[in-house]
Amino acid sequence: NPQGSFLANLSQSDRNAIKIGLTGTPLLGDDYNSRALFGDYIHKYYYNASIADGYTLRLIREEIATNYKISLQEALAAVQLQQGDIDRKQIYSHPKFVEPMLDYIVRDFEKSRTALGDSSIGGMVICDSADQAKEMHKIFNAVYADKTSSSSAEPEGYAAQAAEKNRVKTAALILHDIGSKDERKQWVEDFKAGKIDFLFVYNMLLTGFDAKRLKKLYLGRIIKAHNLLQALTRVNRTYGDFRYGYVVDFADIRKEFDKTNKDYFDELQSELGDEVEHYSNLFKSSEEVTQEIEAIKDVLFSFDIQNAEEFSRQISQIQDRTTILALKNALADARNLYNLIRLQGEYSLLQQLDFKKLNQLYRETSNHLELLNLKETIETASDTSNLLNVALEDVIFKFAKI
C-alpha cells in the first residue's frame, strides 16, 4: 500500500537495495501493481502446479439449499417489515436474519462431517460485518454451545456416539476489538489443535492463516479481487485423505471470482503465451465429476459390479497386486465422488453408478488386497515379526472353567 508507512520505510532503508517480493496473489490493478515496485517476475508457481504437486487441494463451491434461501428471504422480509428501510448491514446482523443463517451453517457442517467421515475438520464463517459476526457468536453460545459437564454419560450405541462426535459444540469470535491479542492468539491455536469447531470472522484471518483441518468455508459476503483468492485458499491445505476443500457461497461470489480469475488469466497470457493452456481452475466443475465417473466406469468395465458374489469370485482369481490396487483406487474415487455429488446437490449424477453397491465392492477389494499383501510378506519372508499379529488379528479367545 503506497499510502502506508511500511513501503516508505522499506524504500528509505536502502535506496540502492534490490527488492525481491514473494506473494501468492500479486496485485494486478492500475493503481497498485506489484510489478511496478518489484519489476518482472523471477519465478512463477501457480495453484494448478501446486495441486498437481500435492501441496494444495481443489475446491468445491456449494450453493445454499433452496429451502434455506426461502427461509432467509422470509427472515429478511420480517426485519424490513418491522424496521422499514434500514441499512443493509443492520438487516444482515439482525437476529431474525442471523439465526436461520447460523442454523443452516451448523446443520450443514454436521452433515459434512458425517458425509466426509471425519469429525476432526473445522469450519470458518466469513461474516458480512463485525456486527453480524458478534450476533452469530452470541446466538451460537445461546443455542449450540456445549453446556454438558465432563461427568455426563456418553451416548449409548455406536451411531449415537458418532453423531455426538460430529456435533458442533464450540466456536470463537475473532475480531480486532474482541479479547486481547494474546487471547485471540490462543483461540486461533485452539482451533488449529481441534479444540474449537468454528471461527466467526470479518476481516481477520482472511490472509496468512494456515490451519490444515479447516476444510469448510462459509462466505457471507463478497470479497474483492486478490483478497478473494487469499480467502478461498484458507481451505485448500492438504489434510488426511481429503481431496477437496469446500466453500459454501451465501454471497454468490461467482461473478467476482470469474472476474478475479480472468485478471490473472489475462496476465498469464501476456506473460506465458502458449504455456497458459496448462492453467486450470481452482474449483472442480460438474463436467470434471462426470469425466471422473466415466474413468471409473472404464476401470470397472470387465467386472460384474451388479452381483457382489460374482465380483468377489472374479477378483479372487487375480493375483496381481498392482491390478487389485488400481481397482481399489477406482472404487475409493467412487466413494469420494458419492459424497461430493451429494454435497453439491447434483443428484442426477447419482444415477450413473450404483454408489452403495460400489461401497460394498470396495470392502471386498480391500479384503482381497490385504490377502495379497499378506501372501507377499510370507513369500518374501523379509519381515516375519508381524505375521503372528496379522494372523491373530481377528481371532477371539474365550476362556471358561470346565
Per-residue HEC secondary structure of 199-231 comes to EEECCCCCCCCCCCCEEEEEECCCCCHHHHHHH
Average pLDDT, stretch 259-264?
A: 57
Q: Please count the structural domains in the chain.
A: 2
294-299: Cβ within 8 A, 24+ apart: 295/330, 295/333, 296/330, 296/331, 296/333, 296/334, 296/337, 296/353, 297/352, 297/353, 299/326, 299/327, 299/330
Cell of 365: 477389494
**From the CB of residue 260, how many other CB atoms can be counted at a distance below 10 Å?**
21
Cell, residue 263: 485478471
| Nearest Cα residue to 21 out of 2, 41, 6, 1 | 41
Domain assignment present for 187: yes
Indicate if the pLDDT at residue 390 is higher than 50: no
Q: What is the CATH number of the domain that holds 238?
A: 3.40.50.300
DSSP 393: T
pLDDT given at position 272: 43
- 377's grid cell: 510378506
Residue 347 lies in a domain: yes
Do 211 and 86 have their domain in common? Answer: yes
CA nearest to 334, candidates 304, 370, 307, 298: 298
Block residue for cell numbers 439465526: 99
What is the C-alpha to C-alpha distance for residues 51 and 55, in angstroms, rounded to an integer?
6
Are 349 and 249 found together in one domain? no
- Identify the pLDDT of residue 30: 60
Kindly state whether residue 279 falls inside one of the protein's structural domains: no
Question: Coil, strand or helix: which one is 64?
Answer: coil
Eight-class DSSP state of 273: G
> Can you point out the beta strands (E) in 97-180?
122-126, 171-174
pLDDT of residue 80: 64
pLDDT score for 6: 72
pLDDT for residue 397 is more than 50: no
Instruction: Name the more confident of 244 and 11.
Output: 244
Residue 202 lies in a domain: yes
**Paired strand residues for 199:** 124, 172
**121 and 258 housed in the same domain:** yes
**Is 357 found in the same domain as 248?**
no
Look at residues 240, 268, 296 and tell me which one is the last residue of a structural domain.
268
DSSP state of 29: S
Q: What is the pLDDT of residues 181-239, one digit of tens each?
A: 999 999 999 999 999 999 999 988 887 788 999 999 998 876 665 567 677 778 888 99
* Amino acid (1-letter code) at residue 312: S
pLDDT at 358: 86
Regarding whether 359 and 264 lie in a shared domain, the answer is no
Domain, as residue range, for 226: 57-146+159-268
Cα dihedral 250, 254, 260, 264 sign: positive
CA-only gyration radius of the chain, Å: 26
Cα–Cα dist 376/116, whole Å: 32
How many Å from the N-terminal Cα to the C-terminal Cα in the chain?
Answer: 85
Rounded Cα distance between 277 and 59, Å, is: 20
Tell me the residue type at 203: N
% of the chain surpassing 90 pLDDT = 19
Predicted confidence (pLDDT) per residue in 37-58, tens digit:
777 788 877 767 787 788 888 8
Domain final position from 268, 297, 316: 268
238, 209: one domain: yes
Summary mean pLDDT of the chain: 76
- Which residue, of 218, 239, 268, is where some domain finishes? 268
Instruction: Examine the domain organization and report whether 229 and 341 are in the same domain.
Output: no
Q: Is residue 208 part of a domain?
A: yes
Residue, of 264 and 91, whose pLDDT is higher: 91
pLDDT for residue 385: 44
* Shared-domain flag, residues 369 and 263: no
Cβ pair 233, 244 in contact under 8 A: no
- In DSSP terms, 58 is beta-bridged to 244
pLDDT for res 285: 64
Highest mean pLDDT among 159-168, 228-237, 261-270, 332-341: 159-168
Sheet holding 122-126, edge to edge: 58-63, 244-249, 214-219, 122-126, 198-201, 171-174
Q: Contact 290/349 with Cβ under 8 angstroms?
A: yes
Confidence of residue 395 (pLDDT cuts 50, 70, 90): very low
Query: Is residue 141 situated within a structural domain?
Result: yes
Do 106 and 228 lie in a common domain? yes
Query: Based on the domain organization, do 262 and 303 belong to the same domain?
Result: no
Provide the percentage of residues in the chain whose pLDDT is more than 70: 68
400 falls within a domain: no
In tens, the pLDDT along 135-151 reads: 999 999 999 988 765 55
Q: Tell me: do 61 and 202 sit in the same domain.
A: yes
Kindly state whether residues 230 and 290 are assigned to the same domain: no
pLDDT for 326 equals: 87
Q: Please indicate, yes or no, if residue 104 is contained in any of the structural domains.
A: yes
